[in-house]
Amino acid sequence: MKCVDDFRFRLGGRELVPIVIGGMGVDISTAELALEAARLGGIGHISDAMVPTVSDRRFRTRFVKDKLKLYKYNVANADKSDVRFDLGHLAEATRLHVGRTMEEKRGDGMVFINCMEKLTMNAPKETLRVRLSAALDAGVDGITLAAGLHLGSFGLIEDHPRFRHAYLGIIVSSLRALQLFLRKNARLGRLPDYVVVEGPLAGGHLGFGMDWARYDLAAIVAEIRAWLVSEKLDIPLIPAGGIFTGGDAVAFLERGAAAVQVATRFTVTHECGLPEVVQQEYFRAGEQDIEVNNISPTGYPMRMLKRSPAIGDGVRPNCEAFGYLLDANGRCAYIEAYNREIGAHPGAKKVSVRDKTCLCTHMRNFECWTCGHYTYRLKDTTHCLDDGGYQILSAEHVFRDYQFSKGGAIDLPPRGGAES
């Protein structure tokens, strides 16, 4: 019986342990988590979600406060079209976040950044171009284009000196999405270096409708692989979503996957950015405590814990400080839902908004508890402590368990935390 360590991910001229830790925002996949993956010979992601907020936390910058100060006059206004990001500040925040991370990188692995197209920021193309270019400027090993089709994203950076040298990949959930991307970008003569195929059991935003349960990751990967072979395209495939054990990973690697992307089990590690009180919620969750809903203003379904404080909360939109989901006309579905409830309950001190959530505020405050389908199995990967809580794991322990375990086995850590 094989284990993940019997395989290698060949990317360019590199040979890597075929384990990729997926990008989780806001600052859930921290620099520390990505650096551990790189040190251990795999690939770790940081996220560019709300990067000015992340910079303020990591480096004590003032990007969020300065933006709020500039647009404070507009706080009570339902029209947010005036609210814009300073592109220079956005570039600086990205360079700080990426640059400092790359300076600390050790080992034979790599650090990528997960870049979300759905962060439209009231200037979709301009802000995305800045984020991508600044990450390349700061020396990131690779960029994974996520949360959207990204049909024009390669074109935004085609003139960058590292466009053909950094590793660039995309996330898709169907063959059709991949075909659309390749057709749109054919003129550039630049294929993606890898494709992450994200299935219906992934955490957070999904590339499916509310009929997600009809789809199967293995079937999607097989369909894409067969098409690539028929087209004589050699693009590494990386399945993602619901890969909970080393045995799950081996099943895909034996069928030709180049690597696997995993995330859920790393949410309960010391290196993850989630506060421990939230990690304990993940441990305690049962299968019945997880749902896929439509509260995201992006229009994509999201998987999360039903107990997430973000669900039903009626916080005032905070676009003047954040505003990452404002479309090109300064609109956001949550603003419309919030104003609808305010109009329906005049004089109320607090309203409840059930159909949408202020994703910026709640992700920033770790109150939107997005999770993978198998989060309810996390309690089986560690020890229940005398106080009823669960022992937090190290990223190295989880990584090594994926790398060396066989079948469906999960190696529990030593009691007390000496895991590596």
For 365, residues 6+ apart whose C-beta sits below 8 A from its C-beta are none
Whether 296 is in a domain gets the answer: no
Whether 53 is in a domain gets the answer: yes
Q: What is the 3-state secondary structure (H, E, C) of 214-246?
A: HCCHHHHHHHHHHHHHHCCCCCCEEEECCCCCH
Whether 251 is in a domain gets the answer: yes
Residue 420 scores a pLDDT above 80: no
Instruction: Determine which helix (DSSP H) or strand (DSSP E) holds 89, and give its type and residue range.
Output: helix 87-103
Angle at 25 between CA 390 and CA 245, to 5 degrees: 50
Q: Give percent above pLDDT 70 in the chain.
A: 99
Q: Residue 101: which domain range?
A: 4-275+385-404
Nearest one of 296, 300, 303 to 267, comparing CA atoms: 303
How many domains does the chain divide into? 1
Residue 417 scores a pLDDT above 90: no
Whether 312 is in a domain gets the answer: no
Instruction: Determine which helix (DSSP H) or strand (DSSP E) holds 43, and give its type and residue range.
Output: strand 43-47
Whether 173 is in a domain gets the answer: yes
Q: What is the C-alpha R_g of the chain?
A: 21
pLDDT in tens, 327-338: 999 999 999 999
* Residue 222: both structure tokens together: 């097989």
Whether 248 is in a domain gets the answer: yes
Residue 291 scores a pLDDT above 80: yes
CA distance linking residue 153 with residue 165, whole number of Å:
16
Length of the chain: 420
Residue 279 confidence (pLDDT): 98
Residue 375 confidence (pLDDT): 98
Angle at 372 between CA 371 and CA 376, to 5 degrees: 90
Residue 212 confidence (pLDDT): 97
Whether 419 is in a domain gets the answer: no
Nearest one of 143, 147, 205, 142 to 171, comparing CA atoms: 147
pLDDT in tens, 218-251: 999 999 999 999 999 999 999 999 999 999 999 9
Whether 358 is in a domain gets the answer: no
Provide mean pLDDT across the span 293-322: 97
- Please spell the DSSP secondary structure of 272-318, one letter per residue: SSS-HHHHHHHHH--GGGEEEE---TTSS-EEEETT-TTTB--PPP-
- The mean-pLDDT minimum among 175-179, 200-204, 294-298, 412-416 falls in 412-416
- Asked whether the beta carbons of 110 and 16 are under 8 A apart, the reply is yes
Domain of 171: which CATH number? 3.20.20.70
CA distance linking residue 79 with residue 84, whole number of Å:
12
DSSP 374: G
Residue 309 scores a pLDDT above 60: yes
For the chain, give the longest Cα–Cα distance: 66
Query: Helices 175-184 and 217-230 sit at what angle, rounded to 10 degrees?
Result: 40
Residue 147 confidence (pLDDT): 81
Q: What's the whole-number average pLDDT of the chain?
A: 96
